[in-house]
Amino acid sequence: DTGVSQNPRHKITKRGQNVTFRCDPISEHNRLYWYRQTLGQGPEFLTYFQNEAQLEKSRLLSDRFSAERPKGSFSTLEIQRTEQGDSAMYLCASSLALTGRETQYFGPGTRLLVL
Amino acid sequence: ILNVEQSPQSLHVQEGDSTNFTCSFPSSNFYALHWYRWETAKSPEALFVMTLNGDEKKKGRISATLNTKEGYSYLYIKGSQPEDSATYLCAFLLLETSGSRLTFGEGTQLTVNP
């Protein structure tokens, strides 16, 4: 296993278009997280899944954002009607949760630019 | 709103220098503190997960300490090398939301000049 992978690595889109990102976690990991990082800031939590259940969503996740993890393996993050403010790095992480303190292993991210 | 602060924001050192950064976090409801190293165009790399007051952890030339009572952690790099150039992020895990959200600081950007 080579770690968490994310596709695409870069995405340029026009305002108003929909985009979808994919995350493939480390295979035995039951938790999957989405974060967003904008320039000069640290990553900010968006949402997380335990297996296929979405257990927590940040208030940053507006109605235009939806995340799924249909079979408890890969996850998708969709942004509808993109806005310029959605331009950011979208990071996915996974962990094997036992106590909750476990390391979250990150993918390389998808960099989104909305024109 | 949790406030995790890192200082300095950026740091330039010469190869061979030793350096350290600070991460400040709320001292109440502490659950864990994570340190990550993030090189440009790569995945953030986990360095340490620190859980107990007084924890000291070491990985090669990098070490970290934790003080949960006063709410700070230090990351030390001994004999910096150009390949240490990266952004170093700390992330706080709150007891009430254990297992979910990491709250990150803004990072310390380290540049090591040969």
Q: How confident is the model at residue B98 (pLDDT cuts 50, 70, 90)?
A: low
* Distance set, CA B52 to CA A21, B24, B33, B68, B85 (Å): 37, 15, 9, 7, 28
The predicted pLDDT at position B9 comes to 96
Buried b (16+ CB within 10 A) or exposed e, B78-113: eebeeebbbbbbbbbbbeebebbbbbbbbbbbbebe
Contacts of A56 in chain B (CB under 8 A): 97, 100-101
| pLDDT tens readout for residues A30-60 | 999 999 999 889 999 999 999 999 988 888 8
| Residue A7 sits at the chain B interface (C-beta within 8 Å) | no
pLDDT average, residue stretch B95-102: 69
Q: Whose CA is closest to A24, among A6, A11, A48?
A: A6
Percent of chain B scoring above 90 in pLDDT: 82
Q: Which residue of A lies nearest to B102 if distances are taken between CA atoms?
A: A45
Q: Which residue of B lies nearest to A109 if distances are taken between CA atoms?
A: B43
- Answer whether residue B97 shows pLDDT above 80: no
DSSP letter, residue B13: E
pLDDT average, residue stretch A63-78: 94
Percent of chain A scoring above 90 in pLDDT: 82
The predicted pLDDT at position B22 comes to 97
For B42, the 3-state DSSP assignment is coil
DSSP letter, residue A103: P
